Amino acid sequence: MPLRLVDDDLDLSLEIAMSWNYREALGIQLHRCLAAGASAPFEWRLITTLASILDDDLQPPTKSQVSYALSIAKALAVSLPGEALQYKGSMKQFLNRHAPMFREHQQKYSTSAERQQS
């Protein structure tokens, strides 16, 4: 019988084929967590591991990407979609769409500032 990963809120489940040895070890681990009333360390390791194996486009964007996107949104007066702040894939789409216009905007701005100083 496979291990079943269930998310009731999203109404999703996934059956995961797992050897009996690993299922038994996981059962022992879960019993330890329940008996000690201290599941937080195990939960943290599980969540960290699950997050690390998500596809790259579902990982969070980097701080640099967020900072750059905020600069673009402000300079070009465009909205930054919430998904771009959550997912690297959506962030890359936003940056690919708006970065060329932003660079052009920055170039025009620096050129006009140089003219005014002359």
Same domain for 71 and 109?
yes
The closest alpha carbon to 85, from 103, 47, 59, belongs to 59
From 4-18, 52-66, 100-114, the region with the lowest mean pLDDT? 100-114
58, part of any domain: no
Q: What is the count of structural domains for the chain?
A: 2
Q: Are 113 and 87 in contact (CB under 8 A)?
A: no
Q: What is the pTM of this model?
A: 0.73
Both 67 and 110 in a single domain?
Answer: yes
- 71 and 92 in one domain? yes
* Interatomic CA distance for residues 116 and 32, integer angstroms: 71
Query: Residues 113, 67: one domain?
Result: yes
Assigned domain for 20 exists: yes
Same-domain pairing of 107 and 70: yes
Q: What is the pLDDT of residues 18-55, one digit of tens each?
A: 999 999 999 999 898 888 777 788 889 999 999 999 99
Distance CA 56, CA 83 (A): 14
The whole domain housing 48 covers 3-53
